[in-house]
Amino acid sequence: MKESPEKAVRTRYRGLMEERLTENQASPGIRSRDRILEPQK
C-alpha cells in the first residue's frame, strides 16, 4: 500500500523533530547558543 504524500511528509517531519530532540539531549549547549543568536529585544 502506497503512503499518501501528506503522511510521508508527516513521518519525515516527525523523524526530524525526534532527531533534534535527541541532539538537544546529547548537547544542551545548542539551546543556549540558539538563544544567543536570537536578536536581543
What per-residue confidence (pLDDT) applies to 8?
Answer: 80
pTM of the predicted model, to two decimals? Answer: 0.34
Angstrom distance (rounded) from CA 17 to CA 36:
21
Contact (CB, 8 A) for 34 and 28: no
What per-residue confidence (pLDDT) applies to 34?
Answer: 60
The string of DSSP letters for 1-41 reads: -PPPHHHHHHHHHHHHHHHHHHHHHH-THHHHHHHHHSPP-
What per-residue confidence (pLDDT) applies to 38?
Answer: 60
Contact (CB, 8 A) for 23 and 30: yes
Task: Give the pLDDT confidence of 1-41 residue by residue, as tens digits.
Answer: 676 878 888 888 887 777 776 665 655 555 555 665 666 55
What per-residue confidence (pLDDT) applies to 29?
Answer: 56
What per-residue confidence (pLDDT) applies to 26?
Answer: 56
